[in-house]
Amino acid sequence: MIRFKNVSKTYPPNVIGVEGISLHVKPGEFVSIVGKSGTGKSTLAKLLFAEERPTRGTIEIGGWDITHIHDRDIPLLRRQIGVVFQDFKLLPKKTVYENVAFALQVAGERPHRIREVVPKVLEIVNLENKLDRYPNQLSGGEQQRVAIGRALVHSPKILIADEPTGNLDTLNSREIMDLLSKINEFGTTIALVTHDRDMVNRLRRRVITLEDGKVVSDVEEGRYKL
């Protein structure tokens, strides 16, 4: 599903983001990418959804070589990959329903399709009775669930979550992790970037550890060492 071959990313002038990363993620996997702050976890995530291009190496997603992806093809890629961030990135002036619908609207989906998909997605993330709330009327965990719901509208093959629980307390974090697990059970490949030791340890899934932009360990059913 995801294949990195000797991928490096150097930011100008010569800040190393990641260096010589090679890895292969199979469909349906749930990988956690861990490491200290500034070790290139977000860079790795950005390379996946083509927010950044690799300086060297090749990246393939679902058999699609996105190493030199053309600008006009990026929207197509993004409709096949869901992304979630620490800061939720919701539109404050839109309701829960509108925030989720927005992702379909800007992709030019038809209204009847939007009316069909949005409630389904909101049911998955357990917000079906908070449709008309605005983000500031929701808890952090709920806001993150809206963001996850929005990431699911195109039924993506891959969901990338960059520190999704970074702003949440333990209880809310667990809720989000459970939701991600549930989504993974439906068959979506998940790449979770985190430095939350407990969450990773509870998961008991594959863990890739980065240090100074390099993969220093990659173990099935791993634990967060460091």
Ligand X SMILES: Nc1ncnc2c1ncn2[C@@H]1O[C@H](COP(=O)(O)OP(=O)(O)O)[C@@H](O)[C@H]1O
Asked if 69 touches other proteins (CB under 8 A), the answer is no
Taking Cα atoms as reference points, which of 198, 197, 180, 202 lies closest to residue 189? 180
Per-residue x/- track, 6-45, Mg ion (CB under 5 A): ------------------------------------x---
Separation of alpha carbons 15 and 119, rounded Å: 44
Q: Is residue 194 at the binding interface for Mg ion, with CB under 5 A as the rule?
A: no
Helical packing angle, 140-152 and 111-124, nearest 10°? 130
Closer residue to other proteins, CB minimum distance, 83 or 127: 83
Choose the one of other proteins, Mg ion, ligand X, none that binds residue 11, judging by a C-beta under 5 to 8 angstroms depending on kind. ligand X
Considering only residues 134 to 153 of the shown chain, the ones binding other proteins according to CB under 8 A are: 150-151, 153
* Binding of other proteins by 77 (CB under 8 A): yes
DSSP 129-167: T-TT--GGGS-HHHHHHHHHHHHHTT--SEEEEESTTTT
- Please report whether residue 11 would count as binding ligand X according to CB under 6 A: yes
Q: Reading across the β-sheet that carries 214-219, which strands appear in turn?
A: 81-85, 158-162, 189-193, 30-34, 207-211, 214-219
d(CA 50, CA 198): 30
Among 41, 150, 154, 206, binds ligand X (CB under 6 A): 41
And the tokens for 160?
């990338």
Considering only the C-alpha atoms of the chain, give the largest distance between any 2 of them, rounded to a whole number of Å. Answer: 50
83 binds other proteins (CB under 8 A): yes
Q: Is 38 in the site for ligand X (CB under 6 A)?
A: yes
- Binding segment (CB under 6 A) for ligand X, from list 19-27, 36-44, 87-95, 114-122: 36-44
- Taking the complex as a whole, how short is the minimal distance between the CB of residue 104 and ligand X, in angstroms? 29
165 counts as binding Mg ion under rule CB under 5 A = no
Confirm or reject binding of residue 164 to ligand X (CB under 6 A).
no
Amino acid letter, residue 118: V
Radius of gyration over alpha carbons of the chain, in Å? 17
Contact call for residue 11 and other proteins (CB under 8 A): no
Binding-site ranges for ligand X (CB under 6 A): 11, 15, 17, 35, 37-43
